[in-house]
Structure 1
Amino acid sequence: MLQTICILLICLSTSSLLFIRATSFNLSLPHQHPDPEAVAHDVQRRVDASISIRQLLPTQEKDKCQTGNPIDDCWRCDANWANNRQRLADCVIGFGQGALGGRGGQIYIVTDSSDRDPTNPTPGTLRYGVIQDEPLWIIFFTSMTIKLKHELIFNSYKTIDGRGANVHITGNGCITLQYVSHIIIHNIHVHNCKPSGNTNIASSPTHVGYRGRSDGDGISIFGSQKIWIDHCTLSYCTDGLIDAIMGSTGITISNNYFSHHDEVMLLGHDDKYVLDSGMQVTIAFNRFGEALVQRMPRCRRGYIHVVNNDFTYWEMYAIGGSGNPTINSQGNRYIAPADPNAKEVTKRVDTEEGEWTDWNWRTDGDIMVNGAFFVPSGAGLSAQYAKASSVEPKSAGLINQLTMNAGVFGDPRDNNGGMSNSGNGYGTSTSTGSAGSGGDGDYFGMIFGSGAPPPTSTSTIFLSLVIILILYTCMVANHGAILSFPLS
């Protein structure tokens, strides 16, 4: 009996020690890239390559398909794209690169816009398609508005491809990506999403589970990887337009149009949720339009690459964060509001200056308009970031061109680039790379497994002593005999 108690105590103590060590260093998530700076460098290289190709074209050819936007140029120049839809999966850039969606699967055509029974979806509905186990490339027979009864819960390996139709998803719950991977959502409207739940919903053909109340996000990403959201138009939701939390990573959010919303985008669950340190998100070629307030995005932990976006409006701030996220802002245009108290692009949320001084927030080639200013932090550019900065983001001057088709294709656009609130029009103040590296070398060693030795904490030492004490006590109680572990 005594031996059994001792063994249980040792196991519990060892498990606690291993848990502390596992959450203290060398964290990793599925599809987390070991070198996020290389991904940021690759994005900018692709942008520059597309712009160079466009510049070499004769004037009469430039506006046909080569826009300088590397995602759009990848597929829009194919006159036969409608018969080769799955090629879209080749076009993702950034951390979401490799998101397959339903590539290789059958084409599923949505013919029924209803959502009558979330526990037993009707064949032909969108809900029936997204819960299937096999990869599917989902398209739409005609334009439609799908008013959801409850959350639309996806299974892995699905693409929603709204090209060729005018598709609106609205209603209760909206889109939920929970513990899934390889999702592409392209060219749809998501708006007026409301909380719902406390009901049963099918998440696969064989599983129906009880769901609590949802937040009313437009697109909720929870513990999921390899997600690409492209050319969507999002507005008027109850909570976030796009939220990614709880260990989600490998995400690209590109070519979207955001408007009429308060808390636009949340990346990271909680400052203390260590798995979100592995979150990696590319935010590229989006237009942040009218009537937005804050969180474009609001980041906790992780590495966020914000590149070649057009921030035409905010009321409080554009980019915020806490919990020491890395924010790499390159080649964006930030147009400050008229409010003299809201000119700053950045906000460290609920954090004293002494705590965020070493956070790696950097601006490189961003265009600041109407008094906008970005407050960088970090100890200065180190060799760790030299590779990322070796390609100058000179394309910031082409923001109108790069974001001209942001949102769903064919939607009306503000051709003035959202300048109505800028007061003085285009500004002349340009940030040219006041960037900082994370001064905390151990931080990247822990998160991305650089081989740095694990930190020794007081808790680790204490638990080690407890294990030794338990062993000693059990040996004495057993008259000095060494504990034996019977094999049978």
Structure 2
Amino acid sequence: MGGKNGAIYVVTDPSDDPVNPKQGTLRYGAIQTQPLWIIFERDMAITLKNELMMNSYKTIDGRGARVEISNGPCITIEGVSHVIIHGISIHDCKPGKPGMVRSTPDHVGERLGSDGDAISVFAASNVWIDHCYLARCTDGLVDVIHASNLVTVSNNYFTQHDKVMLLGHRDGYTADRIMKVTVVFNHFGPGLVQRLPRVRYGYAHVANNRYDQWIMYAIGGSADPTILSEGNYFVASNDPYAKQVTKRETYDGWKSWKWRSTNDVFVNGAYFVPSGWGSCAPNYVTSQYFGAAPGSLVPALTSDAGPLLVCHIRMLTYIVLYYIHIGPLEAQHRDFYFEGH
């Protein structure tokens, strides 16, 4: 849902203040308590001074502009729900320093310092990360931890990174057993080493993704996760020691873990080691269900992974009216809403 039923907020200013953000900046919109659909006035490169704390019911929509968040701390989605991050490039993220950061208009709290993830999802639910470019961060590109649930990572382009996507806090954190994550239609491009994703507990449906020559492994796990690999396109490198798609971070007990491959395509000697027994089918409700395509179609299905440079008429209309007489938050009283997500 994100900010579907909220006002449109236009980012006009790429500057950042973690404690007292100015109206027109990305942080000012992200921390508001009401639902907001956040768009960008123009192409914009944003370097945050500390981690960006998202509030619930927000959509960050980069369509119609080239939007980059880079070279500083990046996005934290912590203890909130219904957040969509769409159509932006997030790269070269750095750890955040300990200090005060505003998370709502009425609350400023001390943060201990972020790890340098592109997007950290921490004790959050109903999160959708879609059509983003993610690369070269200090820690992970997408980390989903601390009993986060109902997370979808789709249509993204990942490249040039070591530990790409972690699902689960640590092996001893059993609260992560509730976690359900869908990883679909992504292009895992060149220069990726491992964790595409790595799953500790919970359930991961990994479907219709393209994998180009991982360096260590593609899909890993360590604490009895359930993984369904469906309709993916795996291209191994020429390294004879990096042909296996899968890796278990243990030598004991893994043969009972439910890891299945169905309708996957394996190229250049790639192979998947299955395990376990019983059903691995995703437990989607009707509105969530999708039928995965055969792996042979994945190169076409993922050809538009990453940000889409599409400028919608309704977005243009809003921006024109904004310049005439509407402030970004005053639009909540007017009938300008996006449809879709």
TM-score (norm 1): 0.61
Which structure 2 residues correspond to residues 32-431 of structure 1 after superposition, within 5 A? Answer: 100-115=1-16, 117-349=17-249, 351-352=250-251, 354-379=252-277, 381=278, 385=281, 393-410=292-309
One-letter code aligned to 1:374: F
Instruction: Report the secondary structure of 2:27's partner residue.
Output: helix
CA distance in structure 1 between the aligned counterparts of 2:54 and 2:7, rounded to whole angstroms: 16
Q: Deviations over 1:243-298 (max 9, x none)?
A: 00001010000000000000000000011211100000000000000100000001
CA distance in structure 2 between the aligned counterparts of 1:103 and 1:297, rounded to whole angstroms: 29
CA distance in structure 2 between the aligned counterparts of 1:139 and 1:198, rounded to whole angstroms: 29
The count of residues paired between Structure 1 and Structure 2 equals 305
Q: Deviations over 1:202-237 (max 9, x none)?
A: 000010001112100000000000000000000010
Note if contact 2:82-2:127 (Cα within 8 Å) is conserved in structure 1. yes
- Per-residue deviation, 1:385: 4.7
One-letter code aligned to 2:51: E
Partner of residue 317, structure 2:
none
Q: Deviations over 1:386-421 (max 9, x none)?
A: 999xx985521111221010001259xxxxxxxxxx
CA distance in structure 2 between the aligned counterparts of 1:251 and 1:367, rounded to whole angstroms: 25
Instruction: Report the secondary structure of 1:397's partner residue.
Output: helix
CA distance in structure 1 between the aligned counterparts of 2:147 and 2:30, rounded to whole angstroms: 22
One-letter code aligned to 1:337: S
CA distance in structure 1 between the aligned counterparts of 2:283 and 2:5, rounded to whole angstroms: 35
Partner of residue 69, structure 1:
none
RMSD of equivalent CA atoms: 1.7
CA distance in structure 2 between the aligned counterparts of 1:386 and 1:135, rounded to whole angstroms: 30
Which structure 2 residues correspond to residues 1-16 of structure 1 after superposition, within 5 A? Answer: none
Instruction: Report the secondary structure of 1:148's partner residue.
Output: coil
Instruction: Report the secondary structure of 2:116's partner residue.
Output: coil
Q: Deviations over 1:83-113 (max 9, x none)?
A: xxxxxxxxxxxxxxxxx10111100000000
One-letter code aligned to 2:75: I
CA distance in structure 1 between the aligned counterparts of 2:282 and 2:111, rounded to whole angstroms: 47
Partner of residue 10, structure 1:
none
CA distance in structure 2 between the aligned counterparts of 1:226 and 1:341, rounded to whole angstroms: 38
CA distance in structure 2 between the aligned counterparts of 1:327 and 1:300, rounded to whole angstroms: 10
- Per-residue deviation, 1:370: 0.3
Give the 3 Å change call, closer, same or farther, for CA 187–344 of structure 1 in structure 2: same
Note if contact 2:233-2:299 (Cα within 8 Å) is conserved in structure 1. no
Note if contact 1:364-1:393 (Cα within 8 Å) is conserved in structure 2. no
Note if contact 2:205-2:282 (Cα within 8 Å) is conserved in structure 1. no
Note if contact 1:365-1:392 (Cα within 8 Å) is conserved in structure 2. no
One-letter code aligned to 2:67: V
Partner of residue 337, structure 2:
none
Runs of at least 5 residues in structure 2 that lack an aligned partner in the other structure? 285-289, 311-341
Instruction: Report the secondary structure of 2:29's partner residue.
Output: helix
Note if contact 2:122-2:148 (Cα within 8 Å) is conserved in structure 1. yes
Note if contact 1:230-1:255 (Cα within 8 Å) is conserved in structure 2. yes
Instruction: Report the secondary structure of 1:193's partner residue.
Output: coil
Note if contact 1:149-1:171 (Cα within 8 Å) is conserved in structure 2. no
TM-score (norm 2): 0.87
Q: Report percent identity of matched pairs.
A: 55
- Per-residue deviation, 1:138: 0.2
One-letter code aligned to 1:404: S
CA distance in structure 1 between the aligned counterparts of 2:283 and 2:79, rounded to whole angstroms: 33
One-letter code aligned to 2:68: H
Note if contact 1:293-1:315 (Cα within 8 Å) is conserved in structure 2. yes
